Structures are given as C-alpha cells and as structure tokens.
C-alpha cells in the first residue's frame, strides 16, 4: 500500500471483521477505511459480503507480513509516549551537607517511588562546586549567585541566628536587642 493509513486500515478491518469496525477503532468513516484499503495495491485482498470480510490468499499473505511491522510501530509510539509521561535517566545533584541531611535525604524514598525511572546521585559537600565540571544537573546552595549562566530558584528562605554565651557576646561588642 502506498500509505501507512491503508496498511493500518487493512489490518484493523481484518481484525474487526468489517470496515465499520475498523473505522470505529480508527475514528474515521467506513468509506475512508475502504478507500484507503482498496485503491492502493491494485490486488484484491478481501472478499466482501454484506455480513463480513474474508481474506484472499494474497490478503492473508499481506496481513501476516503487515502485522509484525505495524505492532513494532505501535510499540515505538508507546515507548515515546510513556517517556513523555514519566521522566527517566540519571539526575546528579549536589547539596550542602547540613541542608541535604535534614531536608533532602528524607525526601528521596518518596521521590524514588514517584519517579522510578530516575537514577538519583546525591553528593553532599560544603565546598564551592563547579557544577559544569562536576557534571551536576542540580545544585542546592545558600547565598547569592556567582555564575550568571545558571538558572536559580529559591527553595527555602535562609535565616541566620547569632548564638553565643552572653559573656562572650558582651566582650565581643555584640549587643542583644
């Protein structure tokens, strides 16, 4: 057949036993299925009666040869469609140790259940990290941006508290409010 529509229409008509059944599965009219199937090869593939379709010898051969490749095309489409629904692949994250231990590590089991296709690699460290050289996809850090090429989002507000013994703070010229 000259078009994939004709092949799909032919296979669906054989499976459904009618052009009307194939049309319903494909969301088109029976006339559209019939035209796509019958006008393209110039060989009679189907015997039609008022009640059913039956395959000719050429039709049986053609059907058997079309089913495998059509199934493979449908599988390829399913794989791509599923990939779009659920993320997959490696995700390399760097994070400050204290923040990572308290906030990130407890979230990992839930993240892994929600995104089983993600292979998470978490690095906890307190040094300045070159994200590009380290191959990191995400970095969780505190402070201002040092690199204007990175996309930044605030994850949580950061509050600083000065702590110390009253005698030390008094001697170091700190005054409490």
In the chain, the percentage of residues whose pLDDT exceeds 70 is 90
- pTM, 2 dp: 0.47
DSSP reduced 3-state for 78: helix
**Residue 90 clears pLDDT 90, i.e. is over it:** yes
Dist CA 33 CA 41 (whole Å): 14
Tens of pLDDT, residue by residue over 22-56, are: 888 888 888 888 777 766 667 788 887 777 788 88
- Is the four-CA dihedral 34, 14, 72, 77 of positive or negative sign? positive
Residue 175: what pLDDT?
A: 54
**Residue 102 clears pLDDT 70, i.e. is over it:** yes
**Residue 111 clears pLDDT 60, i.e. is over it:** yes
**pLDDT confidence bin for 17, thresholds 50/70/90:** confident
Q: What angle do CA 140, 146, 147 make, to 5 degrees?
A: 90
Residue 120: what pLDDT?
A: 94
Name the average pLDDT for the chain.
Answer: 83
Residue of higher predicted confidence among 3 and 75: 75
Residue 104: what pLDDT?
A: 92
Residue 2: what pLDDT?
A: 59
Residue 99: what pLDDT?
A: 87
Dist CA 72 CA 78 (whole Å): 10
Query: 169 Cβ partners below 8 Å, 6+ apart?
Result: 162, 175, 176
Residue 95: what pLDDT?
A: 93
């Amino acid at each position: 057949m000259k078009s994939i529509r004709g092949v799909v229409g032919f296979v669906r008509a054989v499976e459904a036993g009618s052009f009307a059944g194939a049309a319903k599965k494909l969301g088109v009219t029976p006339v559209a299925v019939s035209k796509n199937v019958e006008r393209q090869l110039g060989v009679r593939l189907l015997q039609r009666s008022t009640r059913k379709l039956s395959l000719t010898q050429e039709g049986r051969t053609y059907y058997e040869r079309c089913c495998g490749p059509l199934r493979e095309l449908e599988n390829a489409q399913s794989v791509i469609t599923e990939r779009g629904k659920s993320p997959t692949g490696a995700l390399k994250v760097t994070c400050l140790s204290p923040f990572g231990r308290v906030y990130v590590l407890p979230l990992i089991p839930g993240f892994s259940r929600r995104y089983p296709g993600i292979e998470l690699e978490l690095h906890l460290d307190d040094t300045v990290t070159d994200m590009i050289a380290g191959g990191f996809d995400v970095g969780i850090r505190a402070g201002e941006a040092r690199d204007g090429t990175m996309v930044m989002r605030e994850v949580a507000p950061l509050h600083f508290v000065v702590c110390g013994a009253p005698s030390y703070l008094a001697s170091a010229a700190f005054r409490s409010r």
